[in-house]
Structure 1
Amino acid sequence: VVAALAADHRVDQDGLVAAFARRHDPARGYGRGTDWLLEQIRDGGDWRDLSVGMFKGHGSWGNGAAMRVAPLGAWYAGDAEQATHQAEISAYPTHQHREAVVGAMAVAAAAALAADPAGPPTGGTLLDTVVELVPRSAVEAGLRRARDMLDYRDAGTVAAVLGCGRRATAHDTVPFCLWSAARGLDDYEAAFWRTAQAGGDIDTTCAIVGGVLASAGTPPPPEWAERTEPLPAWLGEALGA
């Protein structure tokens, strides 16, 4: 996603999905639907027909588009409206269902707000603004509940109401993630463990929360960063590094 933005300064759907297919590595453990879709695109299929035809013509409502989109929000730091618009465009090549698209929009908006050069908003303001920016949907209803539960401390209790990705759907994932991020944008480690302890789709929920906090300029503990996999060389080339 970041490489596509660096190349075109916006989301070009054809270029983005071609890059997804070209760099797709099944060993990474993607979902079956994603593996199938990207294999079909790599073999010459048109994403417009393939994506909309998934799941009996409803399109995927999974959480993958939301999982990958926080860097896009950071790219549009301080411009949450544009981040929301570009996130919507970025979701469609792989996730055509309304809930998946709105989930991506919500995460991108949160990351853009967190990355505001003037400083990140309070947790309540962040959630209120995201709710205003996304259309009516199950994701939006979950975000409203997340705002109401912002003073809850126990992640398990909140996850029991909002979900935490156990069903791998956007509306079962994004509200909890943004609740967790909004609980503390200045403490990466605390947010990470708060998110993980609820269980569910932990790699996705922690990716979303970590992306929002990183957008706010909140770094992970140094020893965590030292253990991460190096970024691929092609990304550095795309960014001119």
Structure 2
Amino acid sequence: MPLSDPRERARASLLGLALGDALGSQFFVPAHRAAFESRTPPDGSPWQWTDDTEMACSVVHVLERHGRVDQDALAASFARHHDFDRGYGPSTNRLLRLVREGGDWRELSREPFDGQGSWGNGAAMRVAPLGAWYAEDPAEAARQAELSATVTHPHPEAVAGTVAIAAAAAIAASTPGRLAPGVFLDGVLDHVPETRVRQGITEARRLLTIRDPGTAASVLGNGRQVAAHDTVPYTLWAASLHLDDYEGAFWTTSAAGGDVDTTCAIVGGIVAARVGVQGLPAAWLATCEPLPAWAATG
């Protein structure tokens, strides 16, 4: 049964995103490679989340306080809570540092790509909780997702990728009963403008008869380029096959390698929007680093 409270939906999605991010980040720890190859979560110290979760916390923080995406508030929250050691990319590190020093995000975000801004996957990786928040209205989720993206990633490809993930989380969270993979992806495509991202999602729709992550990633990408069009189509392919199974979604997503913490954060946020906190593996949650105090429920 879908959750009726937007805050509950967004919080469930945020926890699923953080869990996918934190466990996915362990893929890059050499001592944990063997555990991943045997599909067993690594033991040891708590799994730490990355910039994916830190920025997603700001998205939820702003929604809870404003009921919508207030771009200035979002930029300020990103900058205020920016932890350099969480794995931000160089351009985002610079942007947030300059915003913190008084710079205008509207100008700074458009500096890359000759004024178009970054087409990276950084806006898509944090947006699933927003989609969960607007589950009753995927079209509004898409509009608000665009606003959230342009604060740091205004390039049309980055915006399209962000819109796609928000729409996916909204559809996943609001559709009761079985949601067929093809129906799910068709619903997402209804909201995505013509871009390389859309072309990739269309290709992901054609690949639904394939169940091998490596084969799918060889066509769709796996986030290795850290670009929206190299990340979003694969994550939607993986999520569509496991919309009611968080563990299955995680293992399918991580099996392709690439930008594993980000791809698993995206898929984790989408699936958790549907299955709720009760659908997340309790033992995994117990090992995951808690959300930051400023973003925790209370």
Q: Same fold (TM over 0.5)?
A: yes
Indicate which of 131, 135, 143 corresponds to 1:85.
143
Match of 1:185 among 243, 252, 262: 243
- TM-score, normalising length: structure 1: 0.96
Matched, 1:61 2:113: no
Give 5+ residue unaligned stretches, structure 2: 1-58
Q: CA deviation at 1:78?
A: 2.9
C-alpha distance in 1 between matches for 2:77 and 2:224? 28
Q: Percent sequence identity over matched residues?
A: 57
Q: Give a deviation string over 1:197-224, Cα, whole Å, max 9, x none.
A: 1011001000000000001115232111
Pick the aligned partner of 2:93 from 35, 38, 42.
35
Question: 1:120: Cα distance to partner?
Answer: 6.2
CA contact (8 A) 1:95 1:101 kept: yes
Aligned to 1:131: 189
Q: Identify the residue that residue 20 of structure 2 maps to in structure 1.
A: none
1:43-91 Cα offsets, whole Å, 9 max, x none, are 1000011111124323100001000000001111232111111000000
Distance 2:178 2:91 in 1: 36
Residues of 1 paired with 2:135 and 2:187: CA distance? 14
**Which string of whole-angstrom CA distances, capped at 9 and with x for unpartnered residues, describes residues 151-195 of structure 1?**
201000000000010100000000000000001111111110111
| 3-state SS of paired residue (1:88) | helix
Pair 1:228 & 2:288 matched: yes
Q: Check if 1:201 corresponds to 2:259.
A: yes
Could you tell me which runs of 5 or more consecutive residues in structure 1 were left unpaired when the two chains were aligned.
Answer: none
Cross-structure match for 2:54: none
3-state SS, counterpart of residue 64 of structure 1 = coil
The one-character-per-residue Cα deviations of 1:9-35 (angstroms, maximum 9, x if unpaired) are: 000000000000000000101110110
Q: Is the 8 A contact 1:102 1:137 kept in 2?
A: yes
User: Which AA in structure 2 matches 1:200?
Assistant: G
Tell me the alpha carbon deviations over residues 131-158 of structure 1, each in whole angstroms, 9 at most, x when there is no partner: 1111110000000000010120100000
Which of 35, 46, 57 matches 2:104? 46
CA contact (8 A) 1:51 1:96 kept: yes
In 1: Cα distance, 2:158 partner to 2:206 partner = 22
Do the aligned partners of 1:113 and 1:121 also contact (CA within 8 Å) in 2? Answer: no
Return the TM-score normalized by structure 2.
0.78
Distance 1:72 1:132 in 2: 18
**Cα separation, 2, equivalents of 1:53 and 1:211:** 29
1:106 aligns with 2:161: no
Flag the 1:108–1:167 CA change in 2: closer, same or farther, 3 A: same
Aligned AA for 1:232? P
Question: Please, which moves more after superposition, 152-161 or 183-192?
Answer: 183-192
Does structure 2 conserve the Cα–Cα contact (< 8 Å) formed by 1:120 and 1:216? no
Alpha-carbon RMSD: 1.2
Which residue in the other structure is 1:4 paired with? 62
Within 1, Cα distance between the matches of 2:177 and 2:143?
22
Contact (CA 8 Å) 1:78, 1:117: kept in 2 or not? no
Residue 219 of structure 2 aligns to a residue whose secondary structure is helix
- Structure 1 residue identity aligned to 2:219: V
Structure 2 residue aligned with 1:24: 82
**In the alignment, what sits opposite 2:274?**
216
Q: What is the alpha-carbon distance in structure 1 between the residues aligned to residue 195 and residue 171 of structure 2?
A: 21
- The aligned amino acid for 1:48 is R
2:212 aligned residue (148, 154, 157): 154
| Amino acid of the structure 2 residue aligned with 1:235 | A
Over 6 Å off, 4+ runs? none
Partner amino acid for 1:221? P
CA shift for structure 1 position 119: 4.5
